Structure 1
Amino acid sequence: MLTYASGRTWVIADCSHSRLIVAEAGVRRLALFGETSIDAGRLACLLARHDDVVGLMAAAHEISGSFHILYADGRSTHVQGSASGLRQVFYARCRDGSYAASDSVEPLARLGGATPRIEMAAWGMLHPGFDYGLTHGTYWHGVHRLPADRRLRMTADRAELTTWWRPPAPALSVADGAPGVRAALEEAVAVRRATAGGLSADLSGGMDSTSLCFLLAGQGARFPCFVERTVDPNHDDAHWAAIAAREIDRQLTVLGPEDVPGPYDGIWEPGRGLVEDVPYGLGEPYTLIRNRARKTAMAKIFAATGSDTHIGGFGGDELFTVAPSHFADLSAHAPLAAVLGIRDLARLRRWSMPSVLRALARRQTYQGWFEEQLRSVHLPRPDLLGPGLNWGPQVRVPPWSTPAGVDAVRAVATAADAGRTPQAGTRSVHTSVAGHRIGGQRLGPLRALMEHHGITLSLPYMDDAVLEAALSVSRAEALPGTGFKPVLKAAMRVGAPPDSRAGALSRSTKGEFSMSVHRGLARNRRPLLGLFEDSLLAEHGLVDIDRLRAGLRDTMRPEYETNALETTVAAEVWMRAVAQAPAPAPERPLTHRRLASPC
Structure 2
Amino acid sequence: MEFVVLPDHPVADEVSARLPSRYRENTLHHHSGRPWLIGRWPAGAVVHAEAGGSKIVLLGSAHTTETVLTRQLETAGSLRELDAVAERTPGCFHLVASMNGMVRAQGSLSTARQLFHTSLSGATVVANRISVLSELRRLTLAEEHLAMSLLSYAPPWPLNERSVWREVDCAPFAHYLSLSPAGSVESVRWWSPPEPELPVDVAAHQFREGLLAAIAARADRSSVIGADLSGGMDSTSLCFLAARQDRPLVTIRRQPMDPTNPEATVASRAEAALSGAKHVLLDRASASMFYDSPDRDDLDVDGPPPFIATRSHIEDVARIMASHGVTRHIQGHGSDELAATGTTYVNAIAQHDLIGSLRSVRAIRAMRRWSLATTWRVIRAFPPYAEWLHRSADELLSGPSFESQVGWEPAPELPTWATREAAELVRETIRGSAAIDPRPLSPIPTQHEILRSVLLNGSSVRFASALGERFDVTFEAPFIDDRTVETALSVRLADRYVLGRTKPLLVTALRGIVPDYVFDRTAKGHFTMDTYVGRKHNLGKLREMCEESRLAAMGLIDRDSFRRSLSEIMPDAANINRLERTLACEAWLRSLPPEIGPPRP
Query: TM-score, normalising length from structure 2?
Result: 0.90
Q: What is the rounded CA distance, in whole Å, between the counterparts of 1:175 and 1:437 in structure 2?
A: 27
- Alignment correspondent of 1:410: 427
Aligned to 2:178: 153
Question: Structure 1 residues 316 and 359 mapped into 2: Cα distance closer, same or farther (>3 Å)?
Answer: closer
1:307 is matched with which residue: 326, 350, 354?
326
Name the residue aligned to 2:554. Answer: 540
Aligned residue identity for 1:260: A
Q: Distance between the aligned counterparts of 2:59 and 2:332, measured in 1?
A: 22
SS at match of 1:483: coil
Is 1:590 the counterpart of 2:598? The answer is: yes
- Once residues 167 and 121 of structure 1 are traced to their aligned partners in structure 2, the CA distance between those partners, rounded to angstroms, is 30
Counterpart of 1:460 in structure 2 is 478
* Aligned mate of 1:123, from 132, 148, 153: 148
Does structure 2 retain, via aligned residues, the 8 Å contact 1:23–1:30?
A: yes
Q: Which residue of 2 aligns with 1:258?
A: 285
Any stretches of 5+ residues in structure 2 without a counterpart?
1-26
1:481: Cα distance to partner?
A: 5.5
After TM superposition, the structure 1 stretch with the greater mean CA deviation from structure 2, 21-30 or 224-233, is 21-30
**Are residues 504 and 522 of structure 1, via their aligned partners in 2, closer, same or farther at CA, if it must alter by over 3 Å?**
same
168, 185, 194: which one pairs with 1:168?
A: 194
1:8-19 matched pairs, under 5 angstroms = 8-16=34-42, 19=45
Deviates more, 1:503-512 or 1:29-38: 503-512
State the alpha-carbon separation in 1 of the partners of residues 279 and 522 from structure 2: 21
Greater RCO (Cα-Cα under 8 Å, separation 6 or more): 1
After superposition, residues 292-331 of structure 1 pair within 5 angstroms as 292-331=311-350
Paired with 1:467 and 1:17, the residues of 2 have a C-alpha distance of 28
**What is the distance in 1 between the residues matched to 2:547 and 2:490?**
51
Which amino acid counterpart does residue 433 of structure 1 have in structure 2? L
Verify the 8 A CA contact 1:323 1:480 in the aligned structure 2. no
CA pair 333-74 structure 1, distance change in 2 beyond 3 A: closer
2:360 and 2:499 in contact (8 A); partners too? no
Q: Matched residue of 2:253: which SS?
A: strand
1:451-494 deviations in whole A, cap 9, x for unaligned? 1112111221122111112211112101276421110000002x
- Asked if residue 434 in structure 1 is aligned to residue 416 in structure 2, the reply is no
* Paired letter, 2:184: R
- For 1:152, give the aligned amino acid: L
Return the letter of the residue paired with 2:248.
R
Structure 1: which 5+ residue stretches go unaligned? 269-274, 594-599
Partner of 1:596: none
Q: Equivalents in 1 of 2:398, 2:439: separation in Å? A: 25
CA distance in 2 between counterparts of 1:47 and 1:220 reads 29
Q: Per the alignment, do residues 137 and 84 of structure 1 end up closer, same or farther by CA in structure 2, a change over 3 Å counting? A: closer
Question: Within 5 Å, which residues of 2 pair with 1:51-130?
Answer: 51-94=77-120, 96-130=121-155
Q: 2:438 aligns with which of 414, 420, 426?
A: 420
> Counterparts of 1:416 and 1:557 in 2: how far apart (Å)?
33
Which residue of 2 is the match for residue 190 of structure 1? 216
| Match of residue 13 from structure 2 | none
Which amino acid is 2:82 matched to?
L
Please state how far the C-alpha of 1:413 moved relative to its aligned partner: 2.6
C-alpha distance in 1, partners of 2:363/2:404? Answer: 13
Q: Does the 8 Å contact 2:49/2:56 carry over to 1?
A: yes
Larger CA deviation: 297-306 vs 13-22: 13-22
**Cα distance change of structure 1 residues 231 and 544 upon mapping to structure 2, 3 Å threshold:** same
3-state SS in 2 of match to 1:509: coil
CA distance in 1, matches of 2:153, 2:227: 28
**Deviations 1:122-163 (Å, cap 9, x if unpaired)?**
111111113342354201112011122111111233111121
Correspondence for 1:283: 302
Report the CA distance shift for 1:416/1:24 in structure 2 as closer, same or farther (over 3 A). farther
CA contact (8 A) 1:324 1:480 kept: no
The amino acid across from 1:103 in the alignment is N
Aligned to 1:530: 544
Amino acid at match of 1:22: H
Distance 1:551 1:334 in 2: 45
The Cα of 1:194 is off from its aligned counterpart by: 2.2
Q: Is contact 2:389–2:430 with CA below 8 Å preserved after alignment? A: no
The corresponding residue for 1:334 is: 353
Change (3 A) 1:570 1:11: same
In structure 2, the partner of 1:209 is: 235
1:397 to 411, 414, 435: 414
What's the offset of the Cα at 1:17?
Answer: 7.9
C-alpha deviations, 1:539-586, integer Å up to 9, x for none?
Answer: 111101101001111135332201101110111121121144xxxx43
SS in 2 for 1:110: coil
Assess, with a 3 A threshold, how the Cα gap between structure 1 residues 517 and 486 changes in structure 2: closer, same or farther.
Answer: same
Amino acid at match of 1:5: H
CA offsets 1:341-368 (integer angstroms, 9 cap, x no match): 2122122222212211133224322122
Mean Cα deviation higher: 512-521 or 387-396: 387-396
Deviation of the 1:592 alpha carbon: 7.1
SS in 1 for 2:261: coil
| Contact in 1 for aligned 2:224/2:250 (Cα 8 Å) | no
Q: Is the 8 A contact 1:281 1:445 kept in 2?
A: no
Q: Compute the displacement of 1:410 (Å).
A: 2.3
Task: Confirm or deny: 8 A CA contact 2:461 2:477 kept in the other structure.
Answer: no
- RMSD of aligned residue pairs (Cα, Å): 2.2
Task: Decide which of 469, 490, 496 is 2:508's aligned counterpart.
Answer: 490
Distance 1:324 1:483 in 2: 18
Offset of 1:61 from its aligned partner? 3.1
- Greater displacement, 286-295 / 8-17: 8-17
Count matched residues: 572
**Higher alpha-carbon deviation: 20-29 or 565-574:** 20-29
Q: For 1:532, what is the secondary structure of its paired residue?
A: helix
Which stretches of structure 1, 4 residues or more, deviate above 3 A after TM superposition?
321-324, 336-340, 386-389, 414-419
Matches within 5 A, 1:337-416: 337-382=356-401, 385-386=402-403, 388-415=405-432
Q: 1:401 to 1:258 in 2, by over 3 A?
A: same
Q: How much does 1:204 deviate?
A: 1.0
Segment of structure 1 superposing worse, 338-347 or 520-529: 338-347
SS of 1:48's partner is helix
User: What does the per-residue CA deviation read over 1:230-264, in whole Å, with 9 as the maximum and x for residues that have no partner?
Assistant: 21111122211111122232333221222121111
1:315/1:300 CA distance change after superposition, 3 Å: same
Q: Spell out, residue by residue over 1:383-417, the C-alpha distance to the aligned partner (whole angstroms, 9 max, x if none).
A: xx259542111221011111111112124334579
Q: Deviations over 1:158-206 (max 9, x none)?
A: 1111211111111111111111100101111112222212222101111
Cα deviation for residue 378 of structure 1 reads: 2.1
Matched, 1:34 2:40: no
